[in-house]
Amino acid sequence: MVAFNFQPEFAPMIIAGTKRSTLRPNGKRRAPFVDEELQLYTGMRTKDCTLLMRVPCAETRDAQIHWDHIAIGGIRIDGVERLTNFARIDGFASFGSMRAWFDRQYGLPVLDLTQIRWVSERAVFRAAEADFAAVGA
């Protein structure tokens, strides 16, 4: 089991199944194994800690975010449509909003990330959407 904490604005998208991946900096913790259970939370280490979803890991890949492209598993992703599709899987409306978020958090380029993906339909637990409908709106 690997637990991940998400900012509250991502909770509704995780529960709805529109956010199906997370990009995390590599560091002390290892990446999850395929089929290992992911526990997705918001508010970890606070009194408002809430489990959003328990779901098996579907895939992990090395990732980088640059100003004009993304590299996943060593493959360059560019072009507005492809970058927008990638950003939406990670819970952003556009590549521009995703790029700005990562620039604020880490500074661009971010070269040492892991993309962790899951398939929401395989969740063994999912919080009720109604509980998070107003979060991040």
Domains of the chain listed by start with CATH number? 2-132 (2.30.130.30)
pLDDT < 50 stretches in the chain: 134, 136-137
Q: What is the pTM of this model?
A: 0.90
pLDDT score at 136: 46
Query: Letter for the amino acid at 21?
Result: S
pLDDT score at 29: 87
pLDDT score at 28: 83
**pLDDT tens string 90-101:** 999 999 999 999
Dihedral sign of CA atoms 89, 38, 10, 105 in order: negative
Q: Strands, E, within 1-137: which ranges?
A: 2-6, 21-25, 37-42, 50-65, 70-72, 75-77, 110-118, 125-126
- For residue 19, the SS3 value is coil
